[in-house]
Structure 1
Amino acid sequence: MRKIRDYIGIIIFIIMLVVLLGLLAGLISMYKPAKKKQIMVGAVFIDDIDDDGWNEGHYNAILASCEEYNYKLHIVTNVKETLADTEKAVDQLVENGCNVIFLTSGGFGKEVYPVFEKYEDVQFYTIAADSEPSNAISYFLRIYQMRYLSGILAGMKTKSNVLGFVAASNTPQANRGINAFLLGARSVNPDVVVKVRFLGTWTDAEAEEKAARRLILEDGADVITYHASIHTAVDAAEELGVYSIGYNNHNTSYSDNYLASILCNWDVLYGEILSDFTKGNISDDKYYWRGIVYDAVGLSEPSDAVTEEMKELVRERRKQLNQADDVFRGDLISNKGKVMCRQGERITDDALLHRMNWFLEGVEIYD
């Protein structure tokens, strides 16, 4: 009888164990972790991505960062910086499954807030300094630091003491560069002035070339630089035999009059942003603004027209900037005679980003 009871006990134990294992398997299946949401990246551009300038630089950097993380990239090109056009482009990207969207031009700011609010589950990153909605963050490079260094080259090469600057629009983004260019030039040549002609648009090859020619032929500039999407201002400088400084890319086909070019290492910034997003580290600061300390901006190798003395001075100033020094500090007076900064002070990042609607003494604006 004892053996029978022992067998029955063993059978009951086995049955209970099977039942418990079945219940446990059921519970595990019920509480199976949700599948991780797939990250898909979208990007909006104001022009074609093969412009050999601003748009191509951003596209290549975004694509490289997406490939690093194995994220699929969808793009929309030739989008005007208006609410209607931006909404249409974003609608298309969201329909394609994008939950991270880059808006790669400075006009995608307050005007398009309704788009950010329409898609609360999408994380937007915009070049515009304005990003108040909770799902929008600004990003940009401290290009003005390289404007300062390139201004040193311009200030040492000019004979007329007139530097020409072709700028797309009167915005803090462009104005920082103009003022920094003057500061760099005046650090080596206090007699320099910077004459500026605005285009009113980011991309207009004909208008850019015309503005550059007027700066040279009418205004007396013998060094030309620009802040626009493409680089036809340099073409005009080459044709008229004056010095130039490039922006966004480095074209090796120009003569030695092409002194150097400002390089924007956007891949550094896009890589950081996607790394943070992947880890769930969404910035609370509302903007990424990276410069020389992050190796996000630089100057190309200067041409043979730049002497060793000039190169050494630029290297020295670069070291100072790399040690957390900055361009906009000390006594700064506007071209309207207003004190903008005093000795021992520095203009804050917030003021640089949003409120540089003024120009330094020595900057002359032409219509």
Structure 2
Amino acid sequence: MKRLTSSLLALGAAAALSMGAATGAQADDHTVKAGFVYVGPVSDHGWSYAHDQARLAMEAELGDMVETTFLESVPEGADAQRVIERLARSGHDIIFATSFGYMETVIELSERFPDVVFEHATGYQTSDNAANYNGHFYQGRYVLGKIAGLETETNTIGYIASYAIPEVVSGINAFMLGAQSVNPDVEVKIIWVNTWYDPPREAEAANALIDQGADILVQHTDSTGPLQAAQERGVRGFGNDSDMGAFAPEAQLTAIVNNWSPYYVERVQAVADGTWETGSHMGSMADGMVQMAPFANMADETRAVAEETMAGIIAGDIHPFTGPIFNQDGEEVVAEGEQAPLDMILGMNFYIQGIDDAYPN
């Protein structure tokens, strides 16, 4: 078990800030300093916005127990290294690095700053003082697929994808499995924009997909650009990471909503109590980390299917990656009646059968 106490005790003059290493109890005069690093602006109304809303909710719940800092629009790479190291050197007890591309930086800095706790979103590496956390967001994408498969009139869905990392690829595959389960004729066209947040580029991709016949858009990017483009062109789509319906009320069918706040409360509380442990956490629909925005702009029959699918996932009766599942080469990757293991989903590097686009190198 990793307890964030040794650095504070070793500081001498700062010993009054100790979290009570000997007893594991929270010292009354200690305020946990929590730093958050975002890859996009908090105004993106997507990924970074959802994390920052959770930070604010955590502040509201924990009150004076916590003091937070956030840094937005931090590119993955050397800039992230400088920013996260600055947080580690400035007395932060716990640092939440909220993008996949921060992973190597987090692991390296956790070794250099063994008395700081690090939390990395969507990654897969851990260390004694670095944990990772993620959600089964592909569950939501499976629901989106069912909605799109039932609502499309052209049988062509446009998918705006950010980077070819496993999280995005598994989302594409889960979406396709959901769509195929209700509409075997559905086709998915994918444009990779190689960015998390670039509203003009995302909107441009959306318009290109609409020009190719897509009447429903899906995005794994962070801005409201694609959904607003959908509304302007008279088609429908899905928000991402938060409820984007206010920006396109006539176009949004629903959105996957990321609810990080309970996790942030739990982890900061653990630091305060001296009970923090490393590990990997995967939230889900069942525990409320993966949520859906209200269903709108769809037939009542479609809404019923979506609600039944959500209920089945929460109850454990439906798993999006249940076999038989075949890859693009026709090889069976998940046997009939079996469920894909979590490590396959988290490391997914192939398209399933039915996706005609070439897998990106």
Sort the TM-score into its range (normalised by shorter chain).
Answer: 0.7 to 0.9
| 1:267 positional shift | 1.4
- SS state of the match for residue 108, structure 1? helix
| 1:204 positional shift | 1.4
Normalised by the length of structure 2, the TM-score is 0.86
- SS state of the match for residue 340, structure 1? strand
What CA distance in whole angstroms lies between the structure 1 residues aligned with 2:123 and 2:86?
24
RMSD: 2.1
| 1:156 positional shift | 0.7
Q: Give 2:337's aligned residue.
A: 344
| 1:360 positional shift | 1.0
What CA distance in whole angstroms lies between the structure 2 residues aligned with 1:297 and 1:192?
25
Following superposition of structure 1 onto structure 2, how do residues 1-367 of structure 1 map, counting pairs within 5 Å? Answer: 36=27, 38-69=31-62, 70-82=65-77, 84-218=78-212, 220-250=213-243, 251-283=245-277, 286-303=279-296, 305-324=297-316, 325-353=318-346, 355-365=347-357
| 1:149 positional shift | 0.8
| 1:132 positional shift | 3.0
Contact in 2 for aligned 1:110/1:130 (Cα 8 Å) = no
Q: 1:34-60, CA deviations, whole angstroms, 9 ceiling, x for partnerless residues? A: 994642111111222222221121012
| 1:272 positional shift | 3.0
| 1:281 positional shift | 3.9
Residue 111 and residue 300 in structure 1: after superposition, are their counterparts in 2 closer, same or farther (change >3 A)? Answer: same
Q: Which amino acid aligns with 2:118?
A: F
Q: 1:30-87, CA deviations, whole angstroms, 9 ceiling, x for partnerless residues? A: xxx79946421111112222222211210120232133223000122222211x3223
Q: Which amino acid aligns with 1:165?
A: Y
Answer 1 or 2: higher relative contact order, Cα 8 Å, separation at least 6. 2
* Structure of higher CA gyration radius: 1
- SS state of the match for residue 345, structure 1? coil
Q: Which amino acid aligns with 2:326?
A: I
What CA distance in whole angstroms lies between the structure 2 residues aligned with 1:169 and 1:59?
22
Contact in 2 for aligned 1:120/1:135 (Cα 8 Å) = yes
Q: 1:140-188, CA deviations, whole angstroms, 9 ceiling, x for partnerless residues? A: 1211111111111111111111111101111111111111111111111
| 1:95 positional shift | 3.5
What CA distance in whole angstroms lies between the structure 1 residues aligned with 2:105 and 2:88?
19
Percent sequence identity is 29
- SS state of the match for residue 252, structure 1? helix
Structure 1 unpaired stretches of 5+: 1-32
Residue 47 and residue 253 in structure 1: after superposition, are their counterparts in 2 closer, same or farther (change >3 A)? Answer: closer
- SS state of the match for residue 128, structure 2? coil
| 1:271 positional shift | 2.4
Normalised by the length of structure 1, the TM-score is 0.84
Q: 1:307-351, CA deviations, whole angstroms, 9 ceiling, x for partnerless residues? A: 221111112111110112421111001123222101121111122
Residue 210 and residue 137 in structure 1: after superposition, are their counterparts in 2 closer, same or farther (change >3 A)? Answer: same
Q: 1:198-223, CA deviations, whole angstroms, 9 ceiling, x for partnerless residues? A: 111111112111111111103x2111
| 1:112 positional shift | 4.4
| 1:279 positional shift | 3.8
Contact in 2 for aligned 1:108/1:128 (Cα 8 Å) = no
- SS state of the match for residue 323, structure 2? coil
Q: Which amino acid aligns with 2:183?
A: N
Structure 2 unpaired stretches of 5+: 1-21
Contact in 2 for aligned 1:196/1:364 (Cα 8 Å) = no
What CA distance in whole angstroms lies between the structure 2 residues aligned with 1:49 and 1:126?
18
Q: 1:262-299, CA deviations, whole angstroms, 9 ceiling, x for partnerless residues? A: 11112133223334444444345x21110111022122
